[in-house]
Chain A
Amino acid sequence: MLCYLSAFLVISLNVQKSYSSNIEYDGSVTIRLQHALVASEDPVFTDRGNVTVHSLRLGQATINQRPLSPDEQLQLRDLAAKNHFYQLKSIVTANDGSQKTFLSTVKACMLAESELDDRLSVSIDYMGRVIAVTSIIASKSTCEGAVVSLEKLKHFTTSVYVRHTEPGPIPDTASYIQKLEREREAKEKGEVKDNRSFLAKYWMYIVPLVIIMVVSSATNPDAQQGSQ
């Protein structure tokens, strides 16, 4: 289990590194996290903590979450045992004061099994506007309800990943033209030297010849015997 988690981490970090300087304007956002620990059609959200992303470009975040109270721990354990969903509401406040609310859902049992180790994926568009905040649990399989001891359900260990919008690919005409250019030059210089050995070059002609010779030599003695 651990190795997958670390694999996930490595990849996420790589992803971050490669996109880190794409957005045009850097900014910071604060995310207020609220969660619902009772399964209901109209869930009641209670405060879970705050996340401040200081720089969207670098993806650095400070996470401030309070431990769960014994009541909340019980509620979460109950939620996990009954295979319900754990819902997270994130209220994102951008630099300019605009607010957006996002909703995200994970399986409560998966959250409990991971001992409250969840990841927050903050996706931003090309301008640096937050378009989605999603909570995910790094795991290889899902569960259908699980009972986890209460002491493991106290502290959230959350990692925040700011996920940028990649710049789209552009048709690579330059290198193609270079390649054509190279081929043309090679042609002008003369034939491309074939460095393969004689056998490698002409095996398809040699093999049938050898076979024919073997076959004919195998039949010849019989014929000679027959004529005798």
Chain B
Amino acid sequence: MASFQSIMKKYPSLLVILLNFQTLLALYEDQVGKFDWKRSFIGKVKYAHFDASRIIVGTEENIIASLNMKNGNILWRQLMENPKEQQLMLLHSDRDLLSVSGTMNNWFVRTWDHQTGTLLSEWTIFSDKNIPSVFTVEKGTLLHIFPTQNSHLDVVTYNLDGNNQKNTIKIPAPWITDISNCVLSKSYYICISKNDISGQLYYVNILSEKPKVYIKTLHSVLGDTPDLIEILPFEDIFPAFLLSSNGQAKVIHVDEDVVNTKIFKVMPNAVSNHNGEKPFIYQLEPASNPDKLVQIRVKDYATCQDEMATELEYPVGLGAPIIIATATKNTLTDVLLSTTDNAFMLVRLSDGKIMWTREEALSNIIAVEFFELPVSELDASIENEFKASSNSILSMLSHRLNTQAKQLSTLIFGEHPMSSSGLVRDAFGLHKLIVVATSVGKLFAIDTLSGSIVWSYRLPNVKPFSILGEDKILLFAQRTARYAPLPAQCILIANDKYSGNGVIFQFDPITGYSQKGIEKLNYQIAQAIHLPYEDDQHLKPVLMISSTNEVYLYPSCAMGEVYKYTSKLYTYLVDNTGSFKGYSFIHSTKDKLKMTPSWELQLQPAKLVAVKTKHPNERVHSQGRVLPDRSVYYKYVNPNLIAVATVSDDPVHKHVLSVYLIDGVTGLILYATSHKRSRGPIHLVHSENWIVYSYFNERFRRTEFAAAELYEGHVQSNSSVFSSFAVSLLPHVQTQSYILPATPLSVTVTLTERGITNKFLLAGLSGGGVIEIPWLLLQPRLNDIPCSPEESCIPYMPEIPLPSEAVINYNQTIGRIDGIEVAPARLESTSHILVHGIDLFYTKVAPSKTFDMLKEDFDHMMIILVLTGLVISSYLTKYLASKKALKQMWK
């Protein structure tokens, strides 16, 4: 009895613990990497150095890293400050690795260990001059040069031998006309005064005792050239630069008064290599062989004669390359190339073989769409049989015999892969294809199972839209792979880099094949809407609104279908100034869609920071919340609801955050709230009948989460149809707020196919973890209703607990999380998650656990044995019992 009592004492606390932790999922050690994968990137490479069997790189993402020369894998990687504010200015490889990164007047100088990437030392440079400056390392000193136009050069030297002794010199330089006409090579600062032959060449050795400015005419250096002259840097062991004109360049060496022009002409992308026995110059040029794209020409450094030209096995999809670095070891020469689409590759000469390629475009993903895979050929043929397309008896018979023969052959010989890629739909929709668009305009399709790239497509001259300060490209799934034999179809909408007009690109997301290629539009896009109606080809049309409020439909043949719905079609346009306008399409005609303004909001002088609608595929399973007294509190589920957040500057409260819930059809503000002394970054999540937003509270200096939930009340006004025009009751709003003891970078909510599963919020934190927060923890508690574990309600806690078991990426830190994308699997319990930032992380989450799936360690053998055992034993006992009964009868 004593033991019973002790259990009794523990029982209530046990219940609480169970209730609190039932929603948490953690991974077992042997499950690591089973449902998830991570790919790490470094960004577009800016600087590269060879170092033994490693490559040290510095990138435009303000990252330095070391790559394995054999396969391009990252050995170590160090993320420095946010690249939007700070940029890498210098990467110098000596005994230690030296990096300088910073803003216009604030820099970090850091030294790193080559081997491990450990930070050895760090000090800062500050300057009050607001002009662009350059850094270089020469003879053990760090030179920091500020060129002031038409005036002088300020040079600050720092000794790098430990005491960082500072020394400032000023060199009068009224000849600096334009900074783009100047280069720094070793300790020489070299400028040209004009971009044609009448210009002068000025150069000065900064490190000499008494800096003397040398002046030469360009004519004396180059001879006669009628073309435009440009000055370009040239990596060499002597002070050198390139003077380029008409696509050809000359290498010029300077040494005090001597200007030595190399008589040969090179391409402007040439580099020199002094590692080998004999120095060479390498340059890239278009291949002479029409089958190949690029060749590397090698020239003798001394004699300037062509040594050889190697054609590269250059893949078709990549952009134009430039040489970043070269190195020679024994007889092999390695060349590192960086392309316009941010790829980075190692080419080994002399055979021109590409050893490896890193697709660094993936470090900057701006649009993601998940696609279901097509059914296998056999399944498709069975499905076709039931379609009304074949109507004669004979053809149906032959079709039936054909498919059955195929079925038989697969039964005997096993399933043969439908296509070479083997991308076939599985039963639970767990195998999908992720199509991502990157900021350089390159598309990738990634397999969710392996994380490998299935196809990629480079869209030249494409620029993302800037929506509320974020770069965005739009991807819409017009047709999924469900409608075999019609292929899946996806559309990408972006801007043209030069004209600023819209471009659309229609493609098959499974194969990457595009029938039409890039289509340029002759208008700018202000808004694009993916309509929920299908035309006879099962295509969901996309409506595009130009900046002059003209409406276009893609494909335009869907006009007839869309016209039927114009009385129910509404849209809104937002601009950064705070004007928010709603439009209807009521005055459209059969051949032209027309927008008519229907409502207007004026949020000025507040600045819009976030606009969120619900996910179009979201379903609300439960119409209400059951209260402890068995009554139902009905949810206010308005599909037209738009959540808007604005931040305004205020003289008293510094910043005021306002959040509005607006009906998109009537423009009625259903709920408005304001947080004083609160500012961004704002992360807004909108789902079902609730919103959650995070903001920074300036008063308490912490990040807070606020949740607002809308209810209709105890009676549902109209259970069959919802209309925004029929406002019988304003929704009741329940709110609550919480402290988040972390800094979120991106917040989203899980999405499942039927909406039965509980909702989890996924927050990407600045530390690199993605944490799942059950919506139950954030759901506003009703005031007058008790909240206890018996009511399946977690009592209010002002601080959101962040247990480490709730980190879905366990110890796999994701660098600089940009966004979290969610897609439902066909299994109700599961959502696909793709987290993107510098790294790419994919996993599956099951907020209510995998209630619709057997555990993977489920013992099938055991259950079969138990069942057969039970059947046998029941027959056995029946036999024995009858035997016993017979015996008893005889007694």
B704: chain A residues within 8 A (beta carbon):
170-171
CA distance A84 to B721 in the complex (A): 20
Whether A168 contacts B602 in the complex (CB less than 8 A), given A106-B666, A126-B658, comes out as: no
CB neighbours of B659 from chain A (8 A):
168
Q: How large is the interface on B (under 10, 10 to 19, 20 to 34, 35 or more residues)?
A: 35 or more
Q: Are A125 and B725 in contact (CB under 8 A)?
A: no
Given contacts A168-B659, A169-B737, contact A85 B606 (CB under 8 A): no
Chain A residue nearest in CB terms to B708: A169
Q: Given A12-B730, A168-B737, do A107 and B725 touch, yes or no (CB 8 Å)?
A: yes
A165 close to B723 (CB less than 8 A): no
The answer to whether A132 and B796 touch across the interface, beta carbons within 8 angstroms, is: no
Residues A101 and B669 in contact, CB atoms below 8 Å apart: no
Using A123-B672, A170-B737 as known contacts, say yes or no to A11 and B729 having CB atoms under 8 A apart. yes
Q: Are A137 and B586 in contact (CB under 8 A)?
A: no
B674 within 8 A of A: yes
Of all chain B residues, the one with the shortest Cβ separation from A136 is: B727
Contact A4/B729 with A85-B584, A168-B737 known, Cβ cut-off 8 Å: yes
A166 adjacent to chain B (CB < 8 Å): yes
Complexed CA–CA distance, A170 and B657 (Å): 13
Contact of A38 with B by CB under 8 A: no
Interface residues on A, range: 35 or more
A8 touches B584 (CB 8 A): no
- Contact (Cβ within 8 A) A171 B739: yes
Cβ contact within 8 Å between A102 and B586 = no
The distance in angstroms between the C-alpha atoms of A168 and B666, with both chains bound, is: 24
- Residue B33 is within 8 A (CB to CB) of chain A in the complex: no
- CB-based contact A163/B725 at 8 Å: no
Report the separation of the CA atoms of residues A130 and B672 in the bound assembly, to the nearest whole angstrom: 12
Q: CB-nearest residue of chain A relative to B8?
A: A201
**Do A102 and B727 touch across chains, with their CB atoms under 8 A apart?**
no
Q: Return the contact of B725 from the options A8, A137, A170, A201 (Cβ within 8 A).
A: A137
Closest Cβ neighbor of B665 among chain A residues: A105
B289: min CB distance to chain A, Å = 61
Q: Beyond A4-B717, A126-B656, A166-B672, is A105–B599 a contact (Cβ under 8 Å)?
A: yes
Q: Say whether A134 contacts B796, CB under 8 Å.
A: no
**A169-187, CB < 8 A from B:** 169-173, 176
User: Interface code B716-737, partner A: CB below 8 Å = 1, 0 otherwise?
Assistant: 0110010101111110010111
- B598–A105 contact, CB under 8 A? yes
Cβ-neighbour of B602 out of A8, A131, A165, A166 (below 8 A): A131
1/0 per position for B457-500, CB-CB distance to A under 8 A? 00000000000000000000000000000000000000000000
What string of 1s and 0s marks CB contacts (under 8 Å) between A139-180 and chain B? Answer: 111100000000000000000000111111111110010000
Q: Is B4 an interface residue (CB 8 A)?
A: yes
- On whether the beta carbons of A41 and B594 are closer than 8 Å, the reply is yes
B136 to chain A, nearest CB (A): 52
Chain B residues near A100 (CB, 8 Å)?
A: 602
Q: Are A171 and B737 in contact (CB under 8 A)?
A: yes
Name the contact of A102 in the complex, choosing from B4, B602, B717, B735 (C-beta under 8 A).
B602
B672 nearest CB neighbor, chain A only: A165
Known: A101-B600, A105-B599, A107-B725. A167 touches B594 (CB 8 A): no
- The verdict on A41 contacting B596 (CB below 8 Å), with A8-B728, A131-B669, A139-B728 known, is yes
Q: Give A205 to B598 CA distance when docked, in angstroms.
A: 68
Encode contact with A along B878-891: 1 for CB under 8 Å, 0 otherwise. 00000000001000
Residues from chain B with a CB closer than 8 A to the CB of A15 are 730
Say yes or no: B671 contacts A171, CB within 8 Å.
no
Task: Specify which of B602, B721, B723, B736 is in contact with A169 (CB 8 Å cutoff).
Answer: B736
Kindly list chain B residues whose C-beta atoms are within 8 Å of the C-beta of A140. Answer: 717-718, 726, 728
Chain A nearest CB: distance from B591 CB in Å?
15
Q: Known contacts being A103-B597, A142-B723, A169-B735, is A134 close to B730, with CB within 8 Å?
A: no
A139 near B727: Cβ-Cβ < 8 Å: yes
Q: Is B675 an interface residue (CB 8 A)?
A: yes
A164 to B334, CA, bound (A): 68
A30 at the interface (CB under 8 A from B): no
Given the interface contacts A165-B674, A169-B737, does A141 sit within 8 Å of B723 by beta carbon?
yes
B674 contacts across to A, CB distance below 8 A = 125-126, 165-168
Known contacts being A8-B729, A103-B599, A125-B606, is A134 close to B669, with CB within 8 Å? yes
Q: A163 with B599: in contact, given A7-B729, A12-B730 (CB under 8 Å)? A: no
Q: Is A138 an interface residue (CB 8 A)?
A: yes
Q: Which 7 A-B pairs have the closest CB atoms?
A: A168-B675, A126-B674, A105-B598, A169-B737, A165-B672, A123-B669, A171-B798
